[in-house]
Amino acid sequence: MEGDDLSFEYGHFLPWHRKCYAVHGHSSRVRVEISGELEGGMLVDFGAAKDAVKRVLEGFDHRLIASGKYAEQVGEEVLVRYEAGGGRFELRLPASRVVLLPGEATVENIATAVAAAVMGTMPSNVTSITLSLSEGFRKGAEVTLSGRGGAGAGAGGRLRAL
Ligand SMILES: [Zn+2]
């Protein structure tokens, strides 16, 4: 499934990257392919599945996505700190505006996190999903997650750069 409504905006940073070390944002478009066993002649209720994907994307929309290693929870807030490009970056945000990942906030890891969250909303007859996340011409990643409970990157996951 795809569509103008399957999109989200996010901020991120990659401290080691020549250009992307500074906090910046992207508009991402998402495409999801669902595979599995038919149940009652149906794979999924398309409308319900699309709503589930939209709800997952809302959880990432207009948030800072960052590696947990740069973040520290301070009460209801998250303090994000790192050094890059010869300077110090420090952000303090409400915890609800931050999504923390185990790894760096690369488009590959973001796609994997979104795919795992989408997989978690699918009925049990869905055995794999392929999710591509595109942020412009030839910039993006596609991840395939197979099997249930495969929330982690790597385990049953296959990645492709777009
Ligand atoms: Zn970026």
The average pLDDT across 104-121 equals 96
Residue 49 sits in a domain whose CATH number is 3.30.479.10
Say how many domains are in the chain.
1
Q: How many whole angstroms from 24 Cα to the centroid of ligand 1?
A: 6
Q: Which residue has the higher pLDDT, 81 or 139?
A: 81
The average pLDDT across 52-63 equals 98
Active site residue 62: yes
Q: How many whole angstroms from 25 Cα to the centroid of ligand 1?
A: 6
Question: Could you tell me what percent of the chain has a pLDDT over 70?
Answer: 93
Task: Report the C-alpha gap between 74 and 93 in whole angstroms.
Answer: 10
* 79, part of any domain: no
Position 24: which residue type?
H
* 153, part of any domain: yes
Under 8 Å between Cβ of 38 and 125: yes
The average pLDDT across 46-71 equals 97
Q: Which residue has the higher pLDDT, 118 or 1?
A: 118
Which tokens is 160 given?
């492709």
* 51, part of any domain: yes
106: which residues sit within 8 A by CB, 6+ positions away? 14, 141
The average pLDDT across 85-112 equals 96
- 16-34 pLDDT tens trace: 999 999 999 999 999 999 9
Active site residue 17: no
* DSSP secondary structure string for all residues of the chain: ---TTSEEEEEE--TTSTTTTS-EEEEEEEEEEEEE--BTTBS--HHHHHHHHHHHHHTTTTEEEEEGGGEEEETTEEEEEEEETTEEEEEEEEGGGEEEESS---HHHHHHHHHHHHHHHS-TTEEEEEEEEE-STT-EEEEEEESTT--SSSTTEEEEE-
Residue 162: pLDDT band (50, 70, 90) is: confident
Residue 102: pLDDT band (50, 70, 90) is: very high
* 93, part of any domain: no
The one catalytic residue in 62, 72, 83, 90 is 62
- 113-159 pLDDT tens trace: 999 999 999 999 999 999 999 987 678 999 999 976 544 444 457 88
* 124, part of any domain: yes
Task: Report the C-alpha gap between 148 and 132 in whole angstroms.
Answer: 19
**Whats the size of the chain, residue-wise?**
162
Under 8 Å between Cβ of 157 and 150: yes
The average pLDDT across 106-116 equals 96
